[in-house]
Structure 1
Amino acid sequence: MGKAGHWAVLALLLAATTACLILHPGRETTVFSPTGGSGYTLVLDAGHGGEDGGAVSLTGVPESGINLDIVLKLDQILGLYGQAPVVLRTSDISLHDESADTLREKKVSDLHNRVSAIENVENAVLLSVHQNNFTNSKYHGAQVFFAPTSGSQELAVHTQETLRAALDPDNARQAKPIPDTVYLMSHISCPGILIECGFLSNPEEEALLRTSGYQTKLAATMAGAWLQYVWPA
């Protein structure tokens, strides 16, 4: 990324961070503020990967690639602020064991390995990036889901509000608990949120989600929400 690109990203991040501060101007303490000199480590999970492409967009693009693009941008933006997230995958791969053979075995192994990787990170907080899909194309808007672990709901609500304020003021979706059928989120012991960035089944939103510019806006907004938690006002 050139110097102009860095400045553009910083401007987006500053705007997102400003939105956070407007939403919570009087926040004195936060769930994830560092204590005793050691803070929390953000774990970035780009959902799916490899043979498991996840949902497919209206133009035939698998969500796994969009998820990865957003996560890599988020990692770069946070790096500009001295953050060093743990990124579970940095390319279009599945994290399954070599012994896994069938697609089902690979999916199961992949999920088990993701949980194991997250659990091995000290003071972890999980942020998992996904894309939504539905049979009716009218639905749109980002939505944040939270794990049944302490601190997850607070971060999810804060992130949902930030996404709405920075990107889509008309989005009436609320943060919700994740269904217990989602293996990854129901088997971690740390705080965790899953962000459905938008609907690949909605023509307008799908077109946005495929663009690098909108992916950067999403990443910057997520970064702004996270940074307000680790750098409380």
Structure 2
Amino acid sequence: DVYEDPGKVSAYSGVKEKDLSLAIAKLLAKQLEAAGYKVIMTREEDKLVYREGTTEIFDKRKQDLTRRKEIMDNSGADIVVSIHLNDFGQSQYYGAQVFYPPNSEQSKILAVNVQSALREGVDPSNKREALLKSEPIVILRDLKTPTIIVECGFLSNKKEEQNLRNENYQIKIAKAIKTGIDNYFSGLTKKSEESTAE
């Protein structure tokens, strides 16, 4: 089972991360389901879930994030893939990058597989490596399941932003992430077969 978490934080130059990350997550879900994976999504629409009476946007987002983390932990999924888009103060930066939490070897292996597939399937000039994310991010805390964050590209880079708006490019990203997931599970199967043969 694959648990998908499309990011919600918005906006750069009028393009909302939450809309693009949801579009990519849905395309990925479609490809995974077609290949026989069971996919669980934290959201399928643009809607925060929070306690009645909550007024501050920060509190609404925090409650929604906590809810998503609880669902992740109780989903029984084999992996968690959180889909996001990057932005930065300087526009020269570009390229998809995958992050993994500390103290989770399986998360690291998954991240390396997905990063490699993104390089091969989307942009061979992208030299970024899968990177350890040591900041205390809610979805990476107290992990029960191998988890990665996929930053699909930079909205702050004009060329990449245009690509990220394009559905064919989104399909390419989703396909690459799926390939990385396939390779991760193939590696686990191979290891399991090797240990059985010993």
TM normalised by structure 2 equals 0.89
CA distance in 2, matches of 1:123, 1:65: 24
Aligned-partner residue type, residue 151 of structure 2: E
Q: 137-146 or 104-113: which moved more? A: 104-113
Matched, 1:221 2:158: no
Moved over 3 A (4+): none
Residue 107 of structure 2 corresponds to residue 147 of structure 1: no
> Residue 180 of structure 1 contacts residue 186 of structure 1 at CA under 8 Å; is this kept in 2?
no
CA deviation vs aligned residue, 1:33-57 (integer Å, no higher than 9, x gap): xxxxxxxx21000011xxxxx2423
Partner Cα separation in structure 2 for residue 125 and residue 207 of structure 1: 30
1:96: Cα distance to partner?
Answer: 2.6
Aligned equivalent of 2:143: 188
- In structure 2, the partner of 1:198 is 153
The match for 1:47 is 7
Query: Residue 176 and residue 79 in structure 1: after superposition, are their counterparts in 2 closer, same or farther (change >3 A)?
Result: same
1:138 aligns with 2:92: yes
Partner of 2:21: 67
Q: Percent identity?
A: 32
The verdict on how the C-alpha distance between 1:133 and 1:55 changes in structure 2, with shifts beyond 3 A counting, is: farther
- Amino acid of the structure 2 residue aligned with 1:204: K
| Residue 83 of structure 1, CA deviation | 1.2
CA RMSD of aligned residues (A): 1.5
Distance 2:36 2:85 in 1: 28
Q: CA offsets, 1:36-81, max 9 Å, x none?
A: xxxxx21000011xxxxx24233x1110000000000111111111
SS of corresponding position for 1:225: helix
Which residues of 2 match residues 79-228 of structure 1 at below 5 A?
Answer: 79-148=33-102, 149-228=104-183
In the TM superposition, what whole-angstrom CA distance separates every residue of 1:151-185 from its partner, at most 9, and x where no partner exists?
10111111111101111111111111113232222
Unmatched tracts of structure 1, length 5 or more: 1-40, 49-53
Measured against aligned partners, the alpha-carbon deviations of 1:190-215 in whole angstroms (never above 9, x if no partner) come to: 11000100000001000000111111
State the secondary structure of the residue aligned to 1:101. coil
- Tell me if structure 1 keeps the 8 A contact 2:140–2:147: yes
What displacement does 1:99 show?
4.5
- List per-residue Cα deviations over 1:133-152 (Å, max 9, x = no partner): 01110110000000233410
Q: Following TM superposition, by how much is the alpha carbon of 1:123 offset from its aligned partner in structure 2, in angstroms?
A: 4.3
Letter in 1 for 2:126: N
SS at match of 1:151: helix
Query: Are the counterparts in 2 of residues 142 and 195 from structure 1 also a CA contact under 8 Å?
Result: yes
Q: Please list the CA deviations of residues 90-136 of structure 1 after superposition, one character each: whole Å capped at 9, or x if unmatched.
A: 01111333343211111110111011000101243110000000111
Structure 2 residue matching 1:197: 3-state secondary structure: strand
The code of the aligned residue for 1:90 comes to E
Q: Distance in 2 between matches of 1:101 and 1:153?
A: 38
Distance 2:21 2:60 in 1: 19
Gapped runs of 5+ residues in structure 2?
Answer: 191-198
